[in-house]
Amino acid sequence: MQDPFTKDIFLYEYVYDVSQQKIIDALMHHEISSGCEAVGFFSIEEDQFTVLEFENKRAGQIEKVVMSFYDYMRHYAKNVIIEEDREKFLAHYLDRKYTTSEFSQEIVYRTLRNGKIEYLSGSSCCYEEDGKTYCVLVRRNVTDLIRQEEEKNQELTAALDKANKASQAKNDFLARMSHDMRTPMNAILGMSHLAAEEAKKGLPTPDHINQIEQSSQYLLGVINDILEMGRIESGKTTLACDYYSPEDIFLPVIHMIRPSMEKKKIQFVFDENILGRWNAEYYADEQKVQQMLMNLLNNACKFTQEGGRVELRFSNLSIDKEKCYGVDQIIIEDNGCGMSEAFLENIFEPFEQERLPGNESIPGTGLGLSIARNIARLMGGDITVTSEIGKGSTFTVIFPYHYRILPASEQESKIVPEPAQIERLLGKRVLLAEDNEINAMIAAKLLENKGLTVKLAVNGKEAVEEFKKAPPKTYDFILMDIRMPLMDGLEAARTIRAIERPDAADIPIIAMSANAFEEDRQLSIQSGMNAHLSKPVEPKVLFETLLEYV
């Protein structure tokens, strides 16, 4: 610079300490990358605290506050932090050990913003330089992280609670199963022993035989429930739909449940006119609809006291004649013991069964209602329930279906046939493939008692060889187990069908297997069999099936 009067040249040199600005710039850069909302730094010896509040980090707006560290902390606690967290906050920052540690310290506290609680995290780190102790503090908003952690903890707690409840329910279920399976087994073994003793003395044993049969049927029901529930939980349950008349579906259910109702002197009310209300057929899975209704009616019968009342009602909710689609409502109402409001929340869960005074000894798996509802939902419907202790329960089934109207000629010809005559089976020859000695003995005795001749093969390979070496038309039927050594029943059936002689293609092959599911039946049909009977095979069903192919 030149003096205008003296013409002397002057040089001025300025030195600025830009350390603090460099620190601020560095902190600003760190804030942008780490997401914090405020940064403070101070020298403990000087007790001068500088706070940078980042109001808008994108616009670079910073509010700078300089004051005593301890005064700032008290002011901040009083005006920002909720009352419940103030003492913890001040104890953290006003204790000298937190501002002299070489390691980072962190505290989480709450504040109120826009009427909502938010979580803030304060962390500090101290270091020494040139004989002085410096401390840097960072504040971040961790509300989202805390909320996410709380949600995860809640989910984990809920999952653990659900798992514990499921485990307890299954333990209870296994305990009940042990009781419910041992009870009929005890009756079967006991009555078998009594029947054998009395038979030695030449005494009649019809009562013992009846009780053995009843106990066996109950035990079979328990096993079926367990298997069905397992399939439902694994997602393997499917529908096998076909067209059935209302009589085909509902009348067998009525016939099956009536004896139980009559035994308890329960007034069972049912409008039988519903069966013939229109000349149409439902497109449905007959067996599963019957299973669903039997589970509901059996439940009503079990929990209705002697002399009570159970009513079965049908009503139509909607009909679309163009699409041949309808929705019916089926109501099963009883005046039995009812259920508590708390139990109704879990009534359709597997293994659940409420024990109230007076019904502790009622047997059951706790699976019937769960199975029924799963079937209803599989069909596109549902089951709901209302109940009150001491007044009874009402189950409502929403039953959607497609249907077809029968032609007039088919309606007129739909006459119930005369009962088949068992004498038509006299002299017929059966090739029985069964590897279990007891099952083979029972099946052979049943057939021989009705005048049939039985040849036993102990596996599929032996059955094929016996059929090959026998002259054509030697056998009228083949009864085939599925699971056998050397060659199973499916392969044996395919092998027989492939033999080049006329009767190999025509002979009725009927599966008798413990494989009881729909896909098992389909596999039997695909292998060339004519029918599939699930064990234990009822004699009536066996003979009716044989008569279809005479």
Q: In three state form, how does the secondary structure of 53-93 look?
A: EEEECCCCEEEEEEECHHHHHHHHHHHCECHHHHHHHHHHH
Interior angle at CA 308, CA 302 and CA 314, nearest 5:
80
Which residue bears the tokens 């959607």?
Answer: 400
Q: What is the pLDDT of residues 205-216, one digit of tens each?
A: 777 777 777 677
Strands 509-513 and 477-480: what pairing? Answer: parallel
Instruction: Assess contact for 442 and 432: CB atoms under 8 A.
Output: no
Q: Mean per-residue pLDDT for 156-163? A: 87
Give the pLDDT score at 56. 54
Local structure of residue 424 (DSSP, 8 states) = G
Structure tokens at 8: 């002397």
Strands 477-480 and 429-433: what pairing? Answer: parallel
Local structure of residue 9 (DSSP, 8 states) = B
Q: CB-based contacts of 203: which residues, under 8 Å, 6+ apart?
A: none
Instruction: Assess contact for 38 and 51: CB atoms under 8 A.
Output: yes
Q: What is the pLDDT of residues 319-346, one digit of tens each?
A: 898 899 999 999 999 998 888 888 888 8
Helix, strand or coil for residue 310?
A: strand
Helices vs strands, H then E, count in the chain: 16, 18
C-alpha to C-alpha distance for 171 and 182, rounded to whole angstroms: 16
Q: What letter represents residue 238's amino acid?
A: T
Phi–psi pair at 29, nearest 5 degrees: -60, -45
Strands 38-43 and 48-56: what pairing? Answer: antiparallel
Q: Is 59's pLDDT higher than 50?
A: no
Q: Mean per-residue pLDDT for 78-105? A: 77
Instruction: Assess contact for 389 and 513: CB atoms under 8 A.
Output: no
Q: CB-based contacts of 497: which residues, under 8 Å, 6+ apart?
A: 504, 505, 509, 528
Q: Mean per-residue pLDDT for 399-404? A: 91
Q: Assign 50 a pLDDT band (cuts: 50, 70, 90).
A: confident
Q: What is the pLDDT of residues 257-312, one digit of tens each?
A: 888 888 899 999 987 666 555 678 899 988 889 888 988 998 899 889 899 999 99
Dihedral, CA of residue 172, residue 177, residue 178 and residue 180, to nearest 10: 120
Handedness of CA 485, 489, 494, 496 (dihedral sign): positive
477, β-bridge pairs: 430
Which residue bears the tokens 């419907």?
Answer: 381
Helix, strand or coil for residue 254?
A: helix
C-alpha to C-alpha distance for 550 and 541, rounded to whole angstroms: 15
Handedness of CA 368, 175, 218, 479 (dihedral sign): positive
Q: Mean per-residue pLDDT for 423-428? A: 92
pTM of the shown model = 0.48
Structure tokens at 316: 């139509």
* 222-231: Cβ within 8 A, 24+ apart: 222/177, 222/180, 222/181, 222/184, 222/365, 224/516, 225/365, 225/367, 225/368, 225/371, 226/177, 226/365, 226/367, 227/516, 227/517, 228/291, 228/367, 228/371, 229/350, 229/367, 229/370, 229/371, 231/517
Q: What is the pLDDT of residues 426-442, one digit of tens each?
A: 999 999 999 988 888 88
Segments of 337-377 assigned E as strands? none
Instruction: Assess contact for 289 and 349: CB atoms under 8 A.
Output: no
Structure tokens at 229: 């529930």
Higher pLDDT, residue 284 or 366: 284
Which has the closest alpha carbon to 122: 105, 134, 146, 99?
A: 105
Structure tokens at 457: 């093969």
116, β-bridge pairs: 113
Burial letters for 137-164: b for 16+ Cβ neighbours within 10 Å, e otherwise? bbbbbbbeebeeeeeeeeeeeeeeeeee
Helix, strand or coil for residue 464?
A: helix
Average per-residue pLDDT in the chain?
Answer: 80
Q: Give the other-Cβ count within 10 Å of 462's Cβ.
A: 19
Handedness of CA 494, 496, 500, 505 (dihedral sign): negative
Lowest mean pLDDT among 279-283, 378-382, 427-431, 467-471: 279-283
134, β-bridge pairs: 43, 127
| Residues of the chain above pLDDT 90, percent | 31
Burial class (CB in 10 A: 0-12, 13-18, 19+), 193: exposed
Instruction: Assess contact for 484 and 435: CB atoms under 8 A.
Output: yes
